[in-house]
Amino acid sequence: MDSRASTVAELIAARWGDHRPGLWCEDRALTHHEVAAGAAARAALLADVLPPDAEPHIGVLLDNTPEFPLWLGAAALARAAVAGVNPTRRGAELARDILHTECRLLVTERAHLSLLKDLELPGLRLLVTDETGYADALAPYADAQPDASSATPHDRFLLYFTSGSTGAPKAALCSQGRLAAAGRSLAGQFSLGTEDVHYLCMPMFHGNAVIAGWAPALVTGAGVALRRRFSASRFLPDVRRHGATYFTYVGRAVQYVLATEPRPDDRDNPLRLGFGTEAGAVDAAAFERRFGVRLVEGYGSSEGGAAVQWSPGTPPGAVGRAAPGLVVLDPESRAQCPPARFDATGRLLNGDEAIGELVNQGPSPFEGYWRNTAAERERRRDGWYWTGDLFYRDADGYLYFAGRTDDRLRVDGENLAAAMIENILARYEGADAVAVYAVPDPVTGDQVMATIAGTFDPEAFARFLLAQPDLGTKMAPRFVRVAGRMPVTATNKIHRAALRKEGLRCADPVWWRPPGERAYRLLTREDLEHAEGPPAPTRGPSPVRRQGLEPRTR
């Protein structure tokens, strides 16, 4: 492990002259030396093409191809910052992400050019990695060598998007020093080493793949195997092909792998560890039984302000033990919430008082948001870091995740803002009012539910969704409640808490779109059982998520 390097640039430069295989993707393989050389060439190109009077920010709109880590390395060497652009965003929202982070160069590929069609992106230069002119653009810099001497730990390195309740994602900042430190921490925690191979099947525009997968590989000199896009059916063949020993995941990825046809040789694989979030205790246990691979669930706010580490002895459903400074507070009184109490089956009994917001009262590595001082102030209230996430804590100090404090949804590992989806659905001709909120997914995360006050034609609504250019691939409502009148509070605001609490079991008709289908049909009692899934595991977060604070059987 390289314990001396304090910047990502130093970690990139350290691989110069290392001719071991270091990066694989499909049929392409690069040595560590070739990765360092490729990063150096791109860094030299950046020095020539980035305007000197602009922020040194580049957008990367790529699948997980070798170009993505090469441009990350280039940005580190050039003291530039990368904004990972989410290809599930559409239209004006996609343009907003690029313009907000002040990117003057966008690195992309032909497959994503259609997303940029008709967008107003003044002053933006495109570099398309799979077009003929790309190799010509890089050719003059082929002899460049990585020089990390000017990089500092404080250099801005990542601007990665997190969802906000107002509908506009915030660009969280991550410096070279913080990413290098995160890589060292994870490598040490999981005893990762030079001979490991990290399988990156989660998208690299997310922090999970870069911080939890790529960074520790840089620190140790491990190899990295990329999957262009996650594929459950190719997961085990990829792992065997590349000799992968470690992988990261988010959301329902683990469930998708478990849904593949079991084989007698499933345990014949080189993996020893998976690290991520939201797999759930039941699926984690099933994964270990089937593949012989332990999954470690962790929690870390995207902004880096708080983290909870799993350790041996952590109860099922818990994330880990609270580190010094981490407390669960009542947001109104600022008082610590009392410990959680469970019944004999492990179901939470005192959610009303035990659930509060996770707050870091100790030192925080949070580095802020790009051009969003209001959001920074919200995070740093009272001199503490407020995560925006709900937790409860048992008598032994173990923490359990219980949801989010604002109108955010997490669908298949993607954070979405309800307000954004509401703005799109409000265009539907039959809608007098629209509210969007989360209902629990049967396995992990959320499903999108909308209440529409007005008239509803299921066929017309499905056609309407297909016609919206800015409706991202995760945004279409799985459930639509049709109400004669939108419930409101005493101050005439939409009563979102009541809508969430009633969920699918409401008096109004609910239409739904079964997985894999585009057409909506009325939700029946039999459908309801399928949509809500099997009973939730005990002592986990599921019984309290998204249905107020009362225990619930799914």
Does some domain include residue 191?
A: no
CATH number at residue 43: 3.40.50.980
Q: What pTM, to 2 d.p., does this model score?
A: 0.78
pLDDT at 536: 44
Does some domain include residue 516?
A: yes
Q: In this structure, what token pair is assigned to residue 80?
A: 């530039």
Does some domain include residue 186?
A: no
Domain co-membership, 21 together with 107: yes
What are residue 440's phi and psi, to 5 degrees? Answer: -65, 140
Asked if residue 170 lies in contact with residue 375, where contact means CB atoms within 8 angstroms, the answer is: yes
Asked if residue 411 lies in contact with residue 404, where contact means CB atoms within 8 angstroms, the answer is: no
In the chain, the N- to C-terminal Cα span, in Å, equals: 45
pLDDT at 545: 31
CATH number at residue 376: 2.30.38.10
Asked if residue 520 lies in contact with residue 511, where contact means CB atoms within 8 angstroms, the answer is: yes
Out of 149, 177, 205, pick the residue that ends a domain: 177
Does some domain include residue 464?
A: yes
b/e string for 59-98 if b means 16 or more Cβ within 10 A?
Answer: bbbbbbbbbbbbbbbbbbbbbbbbbbbbbbbbbebbbbbb
pLDDT at 542: 35
Domain co-membership, 434 together with 394: no
| Range of lowest pLDDT (108-117, 179-188, 425-434) | 425-434
Domain co-membership, 324 together with 454: no
Cα–Cα distance, 364 to 357 (Å, whole number):
16
What is the CB neighbour count within 10 angstroms for residue 335? 10
Domain co-membership, 387 together with 514: no
pLDDT at 489: 57
- H helix and E strand count, the chain: 17, 27
Tell me how long the chain is. 554
- What is the residue range of 415's domain? 408-523
pLDDT at 31: 98
pLDDT digits (tens, 9 = 90+) for 141-167: 999 999 999 999 999 999 998 754 345
pLDDT digits (tens, 9 = 90+) for 373-419: 999 999 999 999 999 888 889 999 999 887 666 666 778 877 676 77
Q: How many domains does the chain have?
A: 3
pLDDT at 537: 45
pLDDT digits (tens, 9 = 90+) for 204-215: 998 889 999 999
Does some domain include residue 154?
A: yes
Cα–Cα distance, 113 to 126 (Å, whole number):
10
Does some domain include residue 243?
A: no
Q: In this structure, what token pair is assigned to residue 166?
A: 């107002």
Does some domain include residue 165?
A: yes
pLDDT digits (tens, 9 = 90+) for 83-92: 999 998 889 9
Type of residue at 292: G
CATH number at residue 475: 3.30.300.30
* CA neighbor of 39 nearest in space, from 175, 158, 142: 142
Domain co-membership, 358 together with 482: no
Cα–Cα distance, 460 to 456 (Å, whole number):
8
Burial of 516 (0-12, 13-18, 19+ CB in 10 A): exposed
Which of 518 and 372 is assigned the larger pLDDT?
372
pLDDT digits (tens, 9 = 90+) for 488-507: 754 446 788 889 889 999 99
Domain co-membership, 392 together with 421: no
Cα–Cα distance, 267 to 308 (Å, whole number):
29
Type of residue at 512: W
Read off the DSSP letter of residue 152. -
Domain co-membership, 395 together with 518: no
* CA neighbor of 161 nearest in space, from 364, 353, 416: 416
pLDDT digits (tens, 9 = 90+) for 288-302: 999 999 998 888 877
What are residue 278's phi and psi, to 5 degrees? Answer: 70, 20
Domain co-membership, 70 together with 116: yes
- How distant, in Å, are the alpha carbons of 105, 356, 357, 490 from that of 333? 47, 11, 11, 23
| 479-483, strands of its sheet edge to edge | 431-440, 446-454, 479-483, 510-512, 521-522
Read off the DSSP letter of residue 327. E
The pLDDT mean for the chain works out to 88
Domain co-membership, 19 together with 98: yes
DSSP bridge pairs for 299: 308
Does some domain include residue 182?
A: no
Out of 386, 404, 422, pick the residue that ends a domain: 404
pLDDT at 282: 72
Domain co-membership, 18 together with 87: yes
Torsion, Cα 371 373 378 382, to 10 degrees, reads 140
At what angle are helices 32-49 and 67-78 packed, to 10 degrees? 60
What are residue 401's phi and psi, to 5 degrees? Answer: -75, 140
